[in-house]
C-alpha cells in the first residue's frame, strides 16, 4: 500500500513524516492505526483528529507513555500535532508489535494454563510498574494486548489513562466512566472515581485471564449473555459459583480474589497479585 492509496490526510501526514504507508492496522476508540516504515523501521502510526474535548486526553496519554519504560508497555517513539489544511490531527507512533492481538489469538486457538499464566505474570508485572507511576490504564482488554513475539505480551493504548492525583477528565454527572464495559470494573461502570486505583486494572486483567481460561466472561450467569455479565458486574454481584469452582479447579484461585466486586476485597498491592499468579502450576 502506498500513501497515495490511503485517505488524503493519512497520505499528507505520511509525507510530513517521510513515512511509507504499508497497511491499515485497524481503528480504536479514538485513533486509527497504520503500519508504516520510517527510516527503514516499521512502526505503528496512530492518527486522530484534534478536538477540544479530546485534546486533554491525548496530552495525558502522551505524558503517561513518555513516563513509562517497561518491556510489557508499548514504547512511544514520537508524538505531536500535525496540520493538514485547516484540520489538526494528533499523530503518534509506537513500536510495531508483529505478533497481533490477544483478541485474534483467542479467536484461533485455546490457550493452555501455562500460556495464560505467562501472559498474566508479564502483565501483572506491568501493573506493578504502573502502580509506582500512579497510572491506571482503565482499558485492559484482549484488543489492547499485543505480542512482540509469542509469549511476550505488551499492553497498549493508554487513551483513557488515569493519573492519580491529577484532575479527573470525566464529568461527575456521567452514570458510567470511560472504559470498555465488557472488561470494566464495577467502579468504572458506576463512575465511582474515588474508588479507582490500580485494583481497577487488577479486575480488568483478571477478567481477561478468566476469559482465556473459561472462554466466556467470568460473570456470565448460566445460560446468560455478555450483556448479563456486564449488568452483574455493574451491580457489584459476586462471581458466579460456577466460575469460582472452575477457576479453582484449574489452579487460578488468585483470579477469584482479583474479581471481587469491591476494591477492598481484591489484592491490596500489585506484588501480591503477581506473587499469586506466579504460583500457578
pLDDT of 22 reads 95
Sign of CA dihedral 16, 17, 22, 26: negative
| Average confidence (pLDDT) over 93-119 | 95
Res. 173 pLDDT band, cuts 50 70 90 = very low
Q: State the greatest distance between any 2 C-alpha atoms of the chain, in Å, as a whole number.
A: 59
pLDDT of 72 reads 97
| Average confidence (pLDDT) over 65-84 | 93
pLDDT of 42 reads 97
pTM across the whole model: 0.90
Integer Cα distance of 214 and 222 in angstroms: 13
Res. 176 pLDDT band, cuts 50 70 90 = low
Set of cell numbers at residue 236: 457489584
Q: Answer yes or no: same fold for 3-95 and 102-278.
A: no
- 120-163 pLDDT tens trace: 999 999 999 999 999 999 999 999 999 999 999 999 999 888 99
Set of cell numbers at residue 217: 466472561
CATH of domain 3-95: 3.30.200.20
Query: Domain 102-278 classified CATH 3.30.420.40?
Result: no
Q: Is the pLDDT of residue 255 over 80?
A: yes
Integer Cα distance of 103 and 182 in angstroms: 13
Q: What is the DSSP string of 49-66?
A: E--HHHHHHHHHHHHHHH
pLDDT of 35 reads 97
**270 against 174, higher pLDDT:** 270
pLDDT of 106 reads 96
Q: Where are the domains of the chain?
A: 3-95, 102-278
Alpha helices in the chain (DSSP H): 8-17, 52-66, 102-108, 113-133, 186-189, 198-214, 226-234, 241-249, 253-258, 270-278
pLDDT of 3 reads 42
Enclosing H/E stretch for 80: strand 76-84
Q: Is the pLDDT of residue 52 over 80?
A: no
- 25-50 pLDDT tens trace: 988 777 899 999 999 999 999 999 88
Q: Residue 127's closest CA among 203, 66, 58? A: 203
Determine what percent of the chain is predicted with pLDDT higher than 90.
78
Mean of all residue pLDDT scores within the chain: 91
Amino acid at each position: 500500500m502506498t500513501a497515495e492509496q490511503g485517505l488524503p490526510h493519512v497520505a499528507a501526514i505520511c509525507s510530513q513524516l517521510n513515512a511509507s504507508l504499508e497497511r491499515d492496522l485497524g481503528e480504536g476508540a479514538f485513533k486509527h492505526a497504520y503500519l508504516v516504515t520510517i527510516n527503514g523501521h516499521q512502526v505503528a502510526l496512530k492518527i486522530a483528529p484534534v478536538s477540544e474535548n479530546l485534546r486533554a486526553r491525548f496530552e495525558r496519554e502522551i505524558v503517561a507513555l513518555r513516563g513509562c519504560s517497561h518491556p510489557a508497555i508499548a514504547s512511544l517513539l514520537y508524538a505531536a500535532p500535525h496540520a493538514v489544511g485547516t484540520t489538526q490531527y494528533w499523530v503518534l507512533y509506537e513500536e510495531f508489535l508483529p505478533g497481533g492481538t490477544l483478541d485474534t489469538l483467542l479467536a484461533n486457538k485455546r490457550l493452555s494454563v501455562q500460556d495464560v499464566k505467562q501472559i498474566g505474570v508479564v502483565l501483572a508485572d506491568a501493573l506493578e510498574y504502573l502502580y509506582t507511576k500512579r497510572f491506571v490504564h482503565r482499558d485492559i482488554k484482549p484488543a489492547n494486548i499485543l505480542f512482540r513475539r509469542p509469549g511476550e505480551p505488551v499492553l497498549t493504548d493508554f487513551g483513557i489513562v488515569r493519573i492519580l492525583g491529577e484532575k479527573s477528565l470525566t464529568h461527575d454527572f456521567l452514570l458510567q466512566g470511560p472504559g470498555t464495559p465488557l472488561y470494566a470494573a464495577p467502579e468504572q461502570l458506576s463512575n465511582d472515581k474515588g474508588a479507582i486505583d490500580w485494583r481497577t486494572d487488577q479486575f480488568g486483567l483478571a477478567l481477561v485471564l478468566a476469559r482465556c481460561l473459561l472462554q466466556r466472561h467470568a460473570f456470565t450467569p448460566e445460560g446468560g449473555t455478555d450483556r448479563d455479565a456486564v449488568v452483574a458486574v455493574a451491580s457489584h454481584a459476586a462471581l458466579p459459583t460456577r466460575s469460582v469452582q472452575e477457576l479453582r479447579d484449574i489452579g487460578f484461585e488468585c483470579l477469584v480474589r482479583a474479581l471481587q466486586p469491591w476494591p477492598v476485597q481484591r489484592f491490596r498491592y500489585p506484588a501480591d497479585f503477581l506473587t499469586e499468579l506466579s504460583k500457578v502450576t
